[in-house]
Amino acid sequence: MTAHLSISQSDCKGLRLINGDTINLYDSTTVQKMNKTFNDLDLALALVKKYKDDIEDHVDYEKSLEEENQHLFQQIDVKNRINEEKTIQNNILTSENKKQGKKIKVLKKTRNLFGTIGVVVGGVITYYGQKIIK
């Protein structure tokens, strides 16, 4: 079959039998419409593939964000537990400080009392010691 036989003329539309082959002949307007349709389909398929790839990329990105969020929530949880432990330690140390503060006050009073008693005892010993020596 030669190329000039497949060129459609407006009066030769439809199925034709040429040299034992059945071929469908179209006029140039129909061929242009079909080419446009095929091009539109190719474009649509390319867009579908692009959109599928974009969706897969977006899903992967969301998964990575979810993993990052889980990691951050774990870090926050660890830091909250550390903060709670530090609060407990702070409360224990504060109560120990109060106890130590009370002990210090008692020791200061005791020191002052023993100092006063020491001065009195020293004064009495000195007084009686001088009486004995004289």
60-98 tens-digit pLDDT = 999 999 999 999 999 999 999 999 999 999 999 999 988
How confident is the model over 94-118, as a mean pLDDT?
A: 83
Q: What is the pLDDT of residues 14-67, one digit of tens each?
A: 666 677 777 777 777 888 998 999 999 999 999 999 999 999 999 999 999 999
Range of the domain at 56: 3-133
Residue 126 confidence (pLDDT) above 80: yes
Count up the domains in the chain and report the number.
1
Confidence label for 1 from pLDDT (cuts 50, 70 and 90) = very low
Q: What are φ and ψ of residue 26, in 5° steps?
A: -125, 155
**Residue 84 structure tokens:** 């709670």
Cα distances from 28 to residues 7, 15, 36, 71, in angstroms, run: 8, 15, 12, 64
